């Protein structure tokens, strides 16, 4: 019996999809340049059904690519030719809300924003807010350790998960919780990109909705002044709920799209959100306005509508840039904040070198950069040039003491860049960790961690943690 | 002069058993501290009190509950003290074969590779020698109501088996007791 026959045999009708029209929508995730149709797509409705799927796949040596909402930006949920896609979107129930303990137990297919909606009447919300939050699922968030705009103050997914229930490739249940003595297996599961287990239930922490939030918008005549202002706000002892920066091209694109009154003459724009009680916001606002006294323009939201309007430009930056170019490529490097201005300068130099325009949108508060490289996939060689440009930015991020990915994950997209951030011994440890959970490498194989020969073939000069081998040698 | 890290690597390479503790490690001090980055990198034998004093100069704190300030930071990491894991950004370790390895880093957001820096929190010195740790720190005014948490060691056979196999990843010859 073929794997498709076996799956169809044990599962109710409508759960196994095999036809061209049914499987085509699953051929890629949010990174649509990489596409591959799977053998079949399986959309189970219960944990028991997932166990059956895993048992059949294990017995027939069939790879399993688990998928949430498919909004990932690194190809982590891209199918493999001989794999099935295990889509968990039908497991979409909020199972339990504990208001006193500020916890909610949810199924993996629940959308990020649906958690906040379900608990809003209790004055609570789920803090991590990736920009895809209206669509992305909590299971995918855990698999990627997703971030968002509010990470500096409220943390990433890993900080907001209390427990997970996973299924191993053998279909065995394993519950991992913050209260476990011993190794940090719960943290390991966050950001494991579907390589270690299938996340089937998540207990998330809920945060009290702040009484008040206000946003300060500051325009600057120079990028460096804006970057310095970011450091100065933190130095002054304020942790904003959100701290976002945009360069002039991004300002222009966002304003053209959203028309919210961004200063078009500014070289850089800072959006600084403060939240808490009225007294807390007032005292933080005093400090921030003092720090931002060198800005060329300042606007503070006076009511909720103004606050949302000021955010609207930033939140629509991606589609706004999409309007200006047939395609764009979104990077996700992270650097220590003190290098922000230098990084922007270097990206501008590279933009000239590769003759490709870049709009820069940053989660400045935590040094997470999202340069958007504009290109046209229909022009021959332009995608390749874009990827080369992107790789240079990621290498720079590592060399400045940062990381190739802050919140999007490695997937298939950043496998080469991984060779730059980790040496062979470290990569070997990653492979061995996978083998502990999945010795036959059936869960999302080939993603997230490059094979050692791939790195060897890249033959790149290895710069590890900012140190070149033989630093005494001159290099050009 | 040979540095302490190389010495530790050599000791591990030659040893058949090692009991890791702060005295044996003998590697203490604040390595780097960037107050405006909210990041401090410390060598593992550093007493927590010393770290707190350095941070206090900028009105910053370690944002997790501390049972005993006389303990070394490496000891707190090894026992998996409270919510310490949430503040860990990166580690430098020496594995059971004497390899010096780095995981995580000094940035708030970093999802490249498995989160080994947090996996090893609570590893009780049985997987690797933790030599250096980077933490996210916070302004004092944002940290309040830190509480001790209750942990349970009632583990399933499956979890124990996974922990056993993870030990062999980092310490294939079983030298760390």
Q: What residues of A are in contact with residue B170 (Cβ under 8 Å)?
A: 429
Check if the beta carbon of residue A461 is closer than 8 Å to that of residue A398.
no
Number of structural domains (chain B) is 1
What's the rounded mean pLDDT across residues A224-241? 95
Q: Please, what are the domains in chain A?
A: 3-87 (3.30.43.10), 94-208 (3.30.465.10), 212-320 (3.30.70.2190), 326-357+375-458 (no CATH)
Give yes or no for residue B166 having a pLDDT over 90: yes
Give yes or no for residue A475 having a pLDDT over 60: no
Give yes or no for residue A471 having a pLDDT over 50: no
DSSP-derived secondary structure letter, A338: G
Residue A368 at interface with chain B, using a CB cutoff of 8 Å: yes
Tens of pLDDT along A404-453?
A: 999 999 999 999 999 999 999 999 999 999 999 999 999 999 999 999 99
Q: Which two tokens stand for residue A167?
A: 């299924």
Closest partner CB to B142 (pick from A231, A235, A239): A239
Q: Write down how long chain A is.
A: 476
CB within 8 Å: A234 and B38: yes
Question: In which domain, by residue range, is B54 found?
Answer: 4-139+154-170
- The answer to whether residue B147 is domain-embedded is no
- The answer to whether residue B75 is domain-embedded is yes
Neighbours of A122 (CB within 10 A): 15
- The answer to whether residue B148 is domain-embedded is no
- The answer to whether residue B53 is domain-embedded is yes
d(CA A107, CA A94): 6
Chain mean pLDDT for chain B: 95
Pairing of strands A64-67, A94-98: unpaired
d(CA A154, CA A147): 10
Res A474: pLDDT: 43
d(CA B72, CA A430): 28
Tens of pLDDT along A69-116?
A: 999 999 999 999 999 999 999 999 999 999 999 999 999 999 999 999
Check if the beta carbon of residue A143 is closer than 8 Å to that of residue A66.
yes
Res B4: pLDDT: 97
- The answer to whether residue B145 is domain-embedded is no
Residues 414-443 of A with CB under 8 A from B: 414, 417-418, 421-422, 425-427, 429-430, 432-433, 436-437
Give yes or no for residue A465 having a pLDDT over 70: no
List of residues 6+ apart from B112 with CB closer than 8 A: A403, A404, A405, A410, A414, A417, A418, A421, A422
Q: What residues of A are in contact with residue B112 (Cβ under 8 Å)?
A: 403-405, 410, 414, 417-418, 421-422
pLDDT over 90, % of chain A? 92
What's the rounded mean pLDDT across residues B144-148? 85
pTM of the full predicted structure?
A: 0.95
Radius of gyration of chain B (CA): 16
Q: Which of A4-13, A52-61, A155-164, A361-370 has the lowest mean pLDDT?
A: A361-370
- The answer to whether residue B36 is domain-embedded is yes
Closest partner CB to B122 (pick from A168, A181, A448): A181
Chain mean pLDDT for chain A: 94
Tens of pLDDT along A25-80?
A: 999 999 998 999 999 999 999 999 999 999 999 999 999 999 999 999 999 999 99
Residue B115 at interface with chain A, using a CB cutoff of 8 Å: yes
CA dihedral A447→A452→A456→A462, nearest 10 degrees, is: 90
Most A-contacting residue of B84, B109, B176 (CB-CB within 10 A), to test interface: B109
Sign of the dihedral through C-alpha B137, B143, B147, B153? negative
CATH number at residue B111: 3.30.465.10
- The answer to whether residue B160 is domain-embedded is yes
Res A183: pLDDT: 97
Res A141: pLDDT: 98
Total CB pairs under 8 A between chain A and B: 188
Closest partner CB to B108 (pick from A152, A187, A432): A152
Res B1: pLDDT: 58
d(CA A105, CA A120): 15
Q: What residues of A are in contact with residue B86 (Cβ under 8 Å)?
A: 155, 158-159
Closest partner CB to B36 (pick from A168, A175, A337): A337
Res A239: pLDDT: 97
């Amino acid at each position: 019996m073929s794997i498709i026959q076996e799956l169809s045999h044990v599962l109710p009708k409508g759960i196994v999809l095999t036809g061209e029209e049914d499987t085509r929508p699953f051929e890629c995730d949010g990174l649509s340049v990489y596409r591959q149709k799977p053998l079949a797509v399986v959309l189970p409705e219960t944990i028991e059904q997932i166990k059956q799927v895993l048992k059949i796949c294990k017995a027939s040596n069939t790879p399993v690519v688990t998928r949430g909402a498919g909004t990932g930006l690194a190809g982590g949920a891209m199918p493999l030719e001989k794999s099935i896609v295990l889509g968990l979107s039908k497991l979409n129930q909020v199972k339990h809300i504990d208001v006193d303990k500020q916890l909610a137990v949810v199924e993996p297919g629940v959308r990020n924003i649906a958690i906040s909606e379900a608990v809003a009447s209790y004055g609570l919300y789920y803090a991590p807010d990736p920009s895809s939050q209206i669509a992305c699922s909590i299971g995918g968030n855990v698999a990627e350790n997703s971030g968002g705009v509010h990470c500096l103050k409220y943390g990433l997914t890993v900080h907001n998960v209390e427990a997970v229930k996973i299924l191993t490739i053998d279909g065995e249940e394993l519950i991992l919780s913050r209260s476990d003595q011993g190794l940090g297996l719960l943290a390991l599961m966050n950001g494991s990109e579907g390589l270690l287990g299938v996340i089937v239930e998540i207990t998330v922490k809920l945060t009290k909705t702040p009484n008040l939030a206000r946003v300060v918008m500051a325009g600057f005549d120079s990028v460096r002044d804006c970057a310095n202002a970011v450091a100065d706000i933190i130095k002054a002892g304020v942790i904003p709920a959100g701290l976002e920066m945009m360069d002039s091209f991004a300002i222009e694109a966002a304003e053209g799209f959203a028309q919210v009154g961004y200063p078009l003459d500014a070289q850089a724009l800072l959006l600084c959100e403060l939240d808490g009680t009225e007294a807390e916001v007032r005292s933080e606002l005093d400090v921030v306005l003092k720090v931002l006294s060198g800005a060329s323009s300042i606007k503070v939201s006076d009511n909720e509508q103004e606050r949302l309007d000021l955010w609207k430009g930033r939140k629509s930056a991606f589609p706004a840039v999409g309007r200006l170019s047939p395609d764009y490529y979104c990077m996700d490097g992270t650097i220590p904040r003190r290098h922000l201005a230098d990084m922007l300068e270097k990206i501008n130099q590279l933009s000239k070198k590769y003759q490709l325009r870049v709009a820069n949108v940053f989660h400045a508060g935590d040094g997470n950069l999202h340069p958007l490289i504009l290109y046209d996939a229909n022009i021959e060689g332009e995608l390749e040039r874009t990827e080369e440009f992107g790789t240079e930015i990621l290498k720079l991020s590592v060399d400045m003491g940062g990381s190739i990915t802050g919140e999007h994950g490695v997937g298939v997209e950043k496998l080469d860049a991984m060779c730059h951030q980790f040496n062979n011994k470290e990569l070997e440890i990653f492979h061995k960790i996978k083998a502990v959970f999945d010795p036959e490498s059936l869960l999302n194989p080939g993603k997230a961690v490059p094979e050692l020969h791939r790195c060897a073939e890249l033959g790149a000069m290895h710069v590890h943690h900012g140190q070149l081998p033989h630093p005494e040698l001159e290099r050009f | 002069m040979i540095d302490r890290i190389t010495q530790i690597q050599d000791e591990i390479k030659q040893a058949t058993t090692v009991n890791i503790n702060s005295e044996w490690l003998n590697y203490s001090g604040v390595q780097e501290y960037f107050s405006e980055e909210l990041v401090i990198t410390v060598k593992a034998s550093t007493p927590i009190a010393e770290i707190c004093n350095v941070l206090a100069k900028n009105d910053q704190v370690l944002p997790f509950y501390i049972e005993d300030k006389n303990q070394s930071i490496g000891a707190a990491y090894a026992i998996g003290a409270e919510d310490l894991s949430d503040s860990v950004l990166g580690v430098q370790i020496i594995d059971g074969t004497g390899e010096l390895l780095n995981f995580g880093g000094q940035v708030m957001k970093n999802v490249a590779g498995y989160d080994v820096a947090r996996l090893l929190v609570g590893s009780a010195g049985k997987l690797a020698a933790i030599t250096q740790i980077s933490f996210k720190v916070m302004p004092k005014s944002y940290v309040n109501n830190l509480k001790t948490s209750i942990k349970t060691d009632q583990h399933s056979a499956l979890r124990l088996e996974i922990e056993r196999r993870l030990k062999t990843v980092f310490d294939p010859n079983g030298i760390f007791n």
